[in-house]
Amino acid sequence: MRFVTYRSGQEAARLGLQHNGLVIDVARFGANVGLPLPDTMLGFIDLGPVAVAALKTRLEKAGAGDFIGASFPAGNVTLLAPIPRPRKNIFGIGLNYTEHVAESARALDTSAALPQQPVIFSKPPTAVIAWNDPVRHDGDVTQQLDWETELAVVIGRTAWRVAEADALDYVFGYTIINDISARDCRRAGQWIVSKGQDSFAPMGPAIVTTDEIADPHCLSITTRVNGVEKQNGNTRFMLFNVNALIADISRVMTLEPGDIIATGTPAGVGAGRQPRPNSCGQAMCLNRTSKGSARCATRSSMRKPDDESPASYRPDRLQLEPDDGIRNSGLAAREKPFLPNDVDRTTDKRISSAFWWGADLRLQSQIAVSP
């Protein structure tokens, strides 16, 4: 199931469900079928797995009349970030792919040694924006604005000292976060100023529940700038997978429903490229004002085309294309690199997000289920 937070007209933001080309208002549909449900994402997550199961059952049995007053054509609503204001900071995971560790050591003076424990930082709730909200870039603050496409995990149950083997039972679903980073704003090794600025966490637009993504460790991650592939990795190459991250964090602090873990990015960020751009900020934002500030428009979409052939993909649906030579394999001695031709494009399931920066440059992010 694909849950969104949407707005129709001047109404307040409400919880929706993407279903057969429509956005279903969850609370209003529930009222129509005698199933009391909340109208916010966090309120729904708080109900636990039983709410997802009950809603799915009612949808399968629903007749046309049950959707009256509770459904909208997808094009008639505005999709916001799925959790517009998280209750707590987002847990960020740094240096979680082998080749990203190497490129960061070269370009950002971080250690070249592989982390022995997850590297954890945070992004405040005010960093979260919707898929089509502007990312703020102040040229007086940073000249090195950068991209990082990441799988984000949304916690569904209170987790305290969870065993790795049980960790996925505590997940509500998955979404995409772009961990926007101001590389020149790091302070004595601390990253929150670099990564936690307002608007530095474009998210969504949907949370895909675990019934659609049973295994989060077979997802390809790609990023393109102006159609040129910059990142190409796979979650199978995480140094610390989702199970390990939940177990590690919950050892020392309680994870609660609605908490978000951004699981790290593969190699191919702007700062690690050779030759390095003169300014990652310039690479992402060209519509600067004379004072050096800009508001960079973002846009995203999420989908899983089970039955579409590659030829039917529209350009904005992010078909895989030849890259510019930068790939991430998360290379370990026993692992082979993940390449685009490892994906059966006629059967892969993908959730994708495309972010547009300014009038002339475009950043596209994609996460797809791979074999």
- Tell me the HSE value of 184 on the side-chain side, using a 13 A CA sphere: 13
Choice among 25-29, 271-275, 304-308 with the minimum mean pLDDT: 304-308
pLDDT of 352: 55
Residues 147 and 56 both lie in one domain: no
Residues 101 and 53 both lie in one domain: no
Answer yes or no: is 84 within a domain: no
Answer yes or no: is 282 within a domain: yes
Backbone angles phi, psi at 299, to 5 degrees: -150, 145
Say if residue 159's pLDDT is above 80. yes
> Which tokens belong to 73?
């054509």
% of the chain surpassing 70 pLDDT = 75
Alpha-carbon distances, residue 295 vs 37, 124, 214, 289 (angstroms)? 37, 19, 37, 9
Q: Which of 131, 137, 81, 101 is nearest to 260 (CA)?
A: 81
pLDDT of 362: 65
Residues 228 and 358 both lie in one domain: yes
Does 92 or 370 have the greater pLDDT score? 92
The mean per-residue pLDDT over the stretch 310-320 comes to 25
Indicate whether this model's pTM tops 0.75. Answer: yes
Answer yes or no: is 193 within a domain: yes
Q: What is the 3-state secondary structure (H, E, C) of the chain?
A: CEEEEEECCCCCCEEEEEECCEEEEHHHHHHHCCCCCCCCHHHHHHCCHHHHHHHHHHHHHCCHHHHCCCEEEHHHCEECCCCCCCCCCEEEEECCEHHHHHHHHHHHCCCCCCCCCCEEEEECHHHEECCCCCEEEECCCCCCEECCEEEEEEECCCECCCCHHHHHHHEEEEEEEECCEEHHHCECCECHHHHCCCCCEEECCCEEECCCCCCCCCEEEEEEECCEEEEEEEHHHECCCHHHHHHHHHHHCCECCCCEEECCCCCCCHHHCCCCCCCHHHHHCCCCCCCCEEEECCCCCCCCCCCCCHHHCCHHHCCCCCCCCCCCCCCCCCCCCCCHHHCCCCCCEEEEEEEEECCCEEEEEEEEECC
Identify the domain boundary among 52, 79, 106.
79
In whole angstroms, give the CA distance from residue 356 to residue 243. Answer: 32
Q: Beta strand pairing status for 90-94 and 260-262? A: parallel
Q: Rg for the chain (alpha carbons), in Å?
A: 20
> Sorting pLDDT into bands at 50, 70 and 90, what band is 369?
confident
> Sorting pLDDT into bands at 50, 70 and 90, what band is 303?
very low
Task: Give 212-245 pLDDT, tens digit per residue.
Answer: 999 999 999 988 777 888 899 999 999 999 999 9
CATH label of the domain that carries residue 34: 2.30.30.230
> Sorting pLDDT into bands at 50, 70 and 90, what band is 289?
very low
Choice among 8-12, 25-29, 169-173, 269-273 with the minimum mean pLDDT: 269-273
CATH label of the domain that carries residue 146: 3.90.850.10
Say if residue 341's pLDDT is above 50. no
Number of domains in the chain: 2
Residues 301 and 350 both lie in one domain: yes
Answer yes or no: is 56 within a domain: yes
pLDDT of 353: 59
Residues 235 and 145 both lie in one domain: yes
Residues 26 and 165 both lie in one domain: no
Q: Beta strand pairing status for 22-25 and 14-19? A: antiparallel
Say if residue 342's pLDDT is above 50. no
Residues 59 and 9 both lie in one domain: yes
Identify the domain boundary among 79, 109, 126.
79
Choice among 143-157, 162-176, 277-291 with the minimum mean pLDDT: 277-291
Residues 257 and 198 both lie in one domain: yes
Answer yes or no: is 85 within a domain: no
Residues 146 and 68 both lie in one domain: no
Q: What angle do CA 3, 8, 12 make, to 5 degrees?
A: 85
pLDDT of 197: 97
Domain range enclosing 165 = 90-369
Choice among 93-107, 277-291, 350-364 with the minimum mean pLDDT: 277-291
In whole angstroms, give the CA distance from residue 19 to residue 336. Answer: 37
Answer yes or no: is 248 within a domain: yes
% of the chain surpassing 90 pLDDT = 60
Say if residue 317's pLDDT is above 50. no
Say if residue 167's pLDDT is above 80. yes
Tell me if 171 sits within 8 A of 247, measured CB to CB.
no
Residues 73 and 98 both lie in one domain: no
Say if residue 281's pLDDT is above 50. no
Task: Give 75-118 pLDDT, tens digit per residue.
Answer: 999 999 999 999 999 999 999 999 888 999 888 889 999 999 99
Tell me if 224 sits within 8 A of 364, measured CB to CB.
yes
Identify the domain boundary among 19, 46, 79.
79
Task: Give 56-81 pLDDT, tens digit per residue.
Answer: 999 999 999 999 999 999 999 999 99
Residues 230 and 282 both lie in one domain: yes
Residues 154 and 253 both lie in one domain: yes
Peptide bond into 124 cis (omega under 30): no
> Sorting pLDDT into bands at 50, 70 and 90, what band is 279?
very low
